[in-house]
Amino acid sequence: MMRAAAVMARMPVPGEVKRRLVPPLTPSEAARLYAGFLQDTIERLAGLEGVHPFVAYTPPAADGFFSGAAPRGFSTLPQAGEDLGERLRNVTATLFSRGATAVVLCDSDSPTLPGRYIEEAFLRLNETDLVIGPCDDGGYYLIGMRRHLPCLFDGIPWSTAHVTQRTVEAAERQDLSVSLLKPWYDVDTAADLDRLCREMATPPKGSHRARHTRRALAGIGLLPERRTR
C-alpha cells in the first residue's frame, strides 16, 4: 500500500510566480520568496512517515531543476493540462496509476502549514472519501482522496473565493463523504505577506519553522537577518 503526497510546484522564475505580490515585491524578490516556500514545503513532506513524497512540477521542461531540488526519496513528475483543474486531475490519475491507495496534493504557497495537518488528512482518509484543507481566502491548501475523482476538478472557478465550496458541492453530487481540516492561509497578496511576516517574527511554540521562507524574507529586508538562524 502506498500513501502518496505531492506538492504542486512551479519553477521559481521571476515574473512567472507570485505575481500578485508584485508590488510590493519586485519580480526577483517574489521568485526568491516562492523558492523559500517551495523548499519548506518539500522539507515538510520529507518529514512524513510512511508516505511516498512527490514533486509535481511545471513547466514540463523544468525536470532537471526539480530533479536536483528534490531530496533523496522523492519522485518527480510533470504537471500536464491547460489550467489548474486539469493539472490536479492528471497528477492524481498518475499517482493512482502508480499504485497509490491514498493521495494528498498540497499547495506550495503555505510555508508555515504544520506537517500534522497532512498527517491528519491521511488519517481521515481511512474513513472518508475526500479531505480538504480550506484556505481562509476560499481556496484550499490540500486535497486528499482514496481513489481518482476527476469530477472534483471540473467546472471549478479557480483563483476565486468559491473553490472549496464548489469542490464540496461537486463531491456531494457524487455522494462522496467529505471531511474538512482546520483552515490555514496561503500567501498570494500583500495582506497575506504581512500576515506571514508577523507570524515569522513571533512564531508559535512548536510551529513549523519555515526556515527557508524566513531566510528569504530576511534576504529581501522583511525580517531581521538574525531571525533566520
pLDDT in tens, 11-68: 999 999 999 999 999 999 999 999 999 999 999 999 999 999 999 999 999 999 999 9
Among 17-26, 71-80, 106-115, 199-208, name the one with the lowest average pLDDT: 199-208
Confidence of residue 224 (pLDDT cuts 50, 70, 90): confident
Going by their DSSP bridges, the two strands 75-78 and 52-58 should be labelled as parallel
pLDDT of residue 204: 62
So where are the chain's domains?
Answer: 2-228
Q: What mean pLDDT is reported for the chain?
A: 94
What DSSP line would sit under the chain, residue for residue? -EEEEEEEEE---TTTS-GGGTTTS-HHHHHHHHHHHHHHHHHHHHT-TT-EEEEEEESGGGHHHHHHHSPTT-EEEE--SSSHHHHHHHHHHHHHHTTEEEEEEE-SS-TT--HHHHHHHHHHTTT-SEEEEEBTTSSEEEEEESS--GGGGSS--TTSTTHHHHHHHHHHHTT--EEE---B----SHHHHHHHHHHHHSPPTT----HHHHHHHHHTTSS-GGGG-
Confidence of residue 227 (pLDDT cuts 50, 70, 90): very low
φ/ψ bin of 187: left (φ > 0), alpha (ψ from -120 to 50), beta (otherwise): beta
pLDDT tens, position by position, 138-156: 999 999 999 999 999 999 9
**Share of residues in the chain with pLDDT > 70 (%):** 95
- Check: CB of residue 132 under 8 Å from CB of residue 124: no
Q: How many Cβ atoms are within 10 Å of 211's Cβ, its own excluded?
A: 15
pLDDT of residue 209: 77
Please give the backbone phi and psi of residue 143, each rounded to the nearest 5 degrees, phi first. -140, 135
- For residues 136 and 138, give the distance between their C-alpha atoms in angstroms, rounded to a whole number: 6
Confidence of residue 229 (pLDDT cuts 50, 70, 90): very low
Q: How many Cβ atoms are within 10 Å of 148's Cβ, its own excluded?
A: 16
Residues 6+ apart with CB under 8 A from 38: 7, 9, 12, 69, 108
pLDDT of residue 202: 79
Does the domain at 2-228 match CATH 3.90.550.10? Answer given as: yes
